[in-house]
Structure formats: structure tokens, C-alpha cells
Structure 1
């Protein structure tokens, strides 16, 4: 197991909550930040507000943040532009659908909104342009995560702090423009915060979500008719704490992360009993997962097996334990196994966001962040050595 050191590092102005490289302009990446204003500051401000009629009235704690666009050139991290926001950013994801839409970034906010930005580039400038602001929940509700539908550009799935898992669908012009009309449909509900979701199954007609209620939950959705959804199953026996990350590998195999510090490979075939095929304690809550490399192409439309000797290399953001590079492989005897092949432990606080620059090269450039110390680091790992 390799211990990796940073090539470059810098300290941000605000705590970073998420990071995402642009898949089609891979030299650019965005960092979202999250700042919870001190309660004393907000009580003081509220006391001076003419609209506050009682000193005992509850004051909703204020959150703000920013979106910071960087460019990665070799070993240099170059700041491009910062967009301050009156909301905290919980997650940001670039669309996989660029045709006719441009480089769109969807942002999950602390104020019940789903905000769209467009990355605009000219010969002499690069900027993040606000495109649309969509109210998807009450302002007191946090949008905790989001996922673009892999096949349909008009659908984004979201999870909320009130436990709801919902679909946001453009209902006019099929474009996330300023005057777009969207509908919000609740798919299913968790008893506590819904932390994450993913589209799964043939045609990506299923939604799998995880919550703080320790539940992994699966629903079928009729996307075309918008007639609601059907909950297929809900499992609270697979994890020992909240489910925080879901990474589908095939239509019937998913990798999950949990607050219980474990990464798991789970078989979840339709109509069959769910069970854990492999698991490993990574030393910290597994907040996010990214695929770095696979020895053969993954088939989301296929059956739930991985061929023998297959290797999948993943990047795990492990909260207080830093970042891990994890290999999943299947032996000739059919058994699956996770193995930590590299660790990055320069972060001194919660590692919520890590991502790798999209590249066909085996040597991956990785940016990882940590929350309270506001640290952003560049490091590299050669996936060719473990695939």
C-alpha cells in the first residue's frame, strides 16, 4: 500500500464540501463551499430586524458559500473565478449531456433550490454564468445530493434533508434555461436525511438511495408518464450506519459507502435477496466514491456479474481518514475482494470531496479537499500498477 504526498496544496477561503472535474473540458474543475454562520451572529442580526416580533422566535441558521472554478495545468492549480452565493453548496455535478446544452453544472443548495450554471469559454475569458434557479423544496430544507439521469438530459434526481428522494424534470422546451418550467415528483422517502442516490437498472429506470436511517431503498419509476413510482424494496440490514455513497457497477451490483467506515459490494438483483459480496473497513466514513479505472468496460445494462480477474479501481473520500484508492477484483474462484492500494492522509479534517481529472492515461491527477482546515491538494496515482 502506497502512501502518497501532495504535489501542490492551497488553503481556500471557505470550507470545501464538494469537487467535480468537467468531463468534456477536463482541465477545469469546480469546488463548492459551505459556511455555517455562527448562531450568535444571526441572533444579533435578527434582533435588529424590524420583522422580528419576539426575542424568543426561532432564527433559521444562515448558510452561505461559493463556487470556485479552477484550471489544472500540469502541476499548477490556477484560480479562474469565484462566484459567491447566499446559499451553501452541498454538491455540484456537471451534466453528461452536452449536445445542445453546453457545459452545464447543477448545484445542490442549502435553501431548497437546484441551481444551474453554464461554463462559458471565449478566446479571452472563462466564466460560470448563472442559468436558472429552481425551487424544489421549502427554503428550510437542504438539497443534500443530486445526480443527472445518464440517458435523459431533462431529468435530475435529488435527495433532501427531510428524507425525500425526488425527480426534477424539465417540462417545457427540454432545456434548463432561465425560463424553464420544471416539475418535482417525490419517488420515495427515508425516515432521516436522504444522503445519496443513483440511477440503476436497464435503461436507468430505477432509483437507489441511501439515508441516515441506515436504509438502502429501491424504486421503479415511469419517467415518460410521470405517474409516480413503485417502491421495490427497502433494506436496513446491509449497513450498520447511514448510507452515504452509491456507485453502480452493473444493473445488479453496486458499491456503497457508509458512516460505519465500510465500503461494500452488494448484490441487489430484482426479486432476489440482497446480500454483501465483499466489504472492507477504510478507517473513516465513506462519503463519496469515484471510478478511476476498470480492466474492462462496465455494463450497466448487463447482468449482475463481473468477469473473473476483473479489476476496478476507485477513489474514496473517507471523511476523517482522508482519501483512499481502493481496488475491487474478482478471483477465479468467484469471490470478490476489496484492497486499499494507496492512501492520501495530508488532510487534517473531513475529506468530503475528491475527484480525478478525466484522462485515458493511467497516471491520474487527483484533487482532494478537507473541510475545517480548508485544504485543497493535488496528487497523482498510477492505476496501471494495480489493474
Structure 2
């Protein structure tokens, strides 16, 4: 690929442009927001010069509701030889694209799963897509040259292509992204008028659950509206479990001995289902990453606020020859210590024994 056009210089569009420029591709930028476009250009993501001849590939990086209109405009203007988008919804978008008069043989829908919710070009990174899945939704009419060009884009961005049907994609992201965001927002809403005492004892649990709740309401509103039925299906099933959990807790709080025993068993079953689901998340291997045949084991250390405590943990783990796959720190402000949970591969020779030498330093 020698040339490309990126329409839309938000975080994803700018990241695509930066990745292509890094590989020597001439990138032309366009955005209705001139400030965002100039910012992306200043970051080295490409040029705002007008395209004088069709580029090899045009990447439409605008919100889902605008994809069809932008694709129709740039294709009618003969901007490129092939076209793709990066919108987070695919089935409805393709129907709209076809209805807008876009030549489906020159278009291939795409969706890189970046895991980044920060908006704007300043959030762009050339390595944003490395080792991440990039969903492609070709149709029977997609041209082979278009497919090859988009596959080249994915490769240049360091991502791994995942071919899916558009409807399957939308149902999948409803379960793994859209519904979780709404659940996070609803849980975070419980904190809006929480008493000051509650906010002083924030734990890692609420931080984990509400981490995704700070996304743009306007952007997420568009996403949820466009995928409303699929998200509603997920939340309906989740709501049934939630209702049952409420009944179980009420029985535990005020039922007779037999009712409490039955409720405790049901609560245990609910929690074990959660364990099994969480294991599927933890054991999932990102495309391009090293497999973990033995899974992950957790090692928890109490960490003091003394300078250098965390570095001593890492040093001890390194001396033990153990690979750290993930780290979580649970620390409440104004407390003299916190917890560090290290997730290590179970097939390593032995879990690090941190207590004998480090306990005087850390506890």
C-alpha cells in the first residue's frame, strides 16, 4: 500500500493514520472538525492536502450513523480504489451503505477492537491496534482486491483479522462491550448521591465495575441506539439473574432456616457461574500473544506506602524467574498500606514466595 485516506481524525482514525505513516504510506486526512484534523496533522498522522489521484484505500473513521453518507460521498468522488470503515456496528451499517448507493464490491466493513474509550486525536497511538482483533465482515460480493487491501491495512496496524458475519458481530459486541458499558454506567450512577462516608471506603470492586462508565454519553448513546435490540437481549437475561439474586438475598436476610439454607445454595451457584465466566475472560489468549496452557494464578502481597516497596516486589518476582501477566493494585487513600495482586502463569516453576524476605519491608 502506497497511499491511503483517513476520513475522521478521532482516536481511532488518527491511530490508523499514525500506524500507516510509520510504514511509509502517504496518508491524507479529512475531518469536518478542522481543529481535530490540524491536530492529527501536527502529530505526524498525515497531510491535509487534497487528494489528486485515487488512493489505494480510504478508511472511514466516523460514528456509525455517518458511515453510509460519508462512504457514498467519497466513493462518488472516486477518492480511492477500495473502501473500509472502523465503526463498532456492522449489520445495520452495511444495509445503510447499500441503500446509500455505495458499490458493495468496493467496500469491506471493519471494526478494530482497541479497548480504548478516550476520544480525540490526542488519544491516537501508532501501536493502538497491535495484537488486537480487527473484525472484518466481507460479503459474497466483496472484491478480492478489496479484501486483500483491507487485510494489508490490518497487517500494517499490527492487528489480527477476525472474519465474522455482521449480525454475529453485533450480537457479540452487545454481550462483550455494549451491555457491560451500560451496566457500568448504572452502577456508577448509584454513587452520584452516595454519602461522603461511602466514598471514603471505595474498594477495587467498584473501581473495576465502573471503569467504563466515563465514556462520552453522546457517542455511547448512538452506539446503544444502533444496537438496541441485541443489547436489550443481553440485559434481559442479566436482569433475570439480578432479580433472582435480590430474592436470594432477601431470603438470606429474613427467611426461616430452610429458606436461608436453600438461598445460600442458590447464591453459591450464582457466584460459581460468575467464576466460570470470569475464567473464560482470564484464559482468553489475545491474537498474537503467547498461549497460557496452565492458566493464571494469583499471588497477593500487602504493600506499605514506603518508597520503593513496589520495586522490591518486582525485583523479588524477577529473581524467582516468574513472568507477571497482570497486576492489580488496591489502595484506599489515607491508608498506610494496600494490596498488590500479581497474576502469574501456573506453568512457571513455582509461585514467588514473597513473605520471608519482603514482609519486613512491605507489611
TM-score bucket (shorter structure): under 0.3
Q: TM-score, length-normalised on structure 1?
A: 0.25
Q: Report which of the two has the higher share of strand.
A: 1
Q: Which has the larger radius of gyration?
A: 2
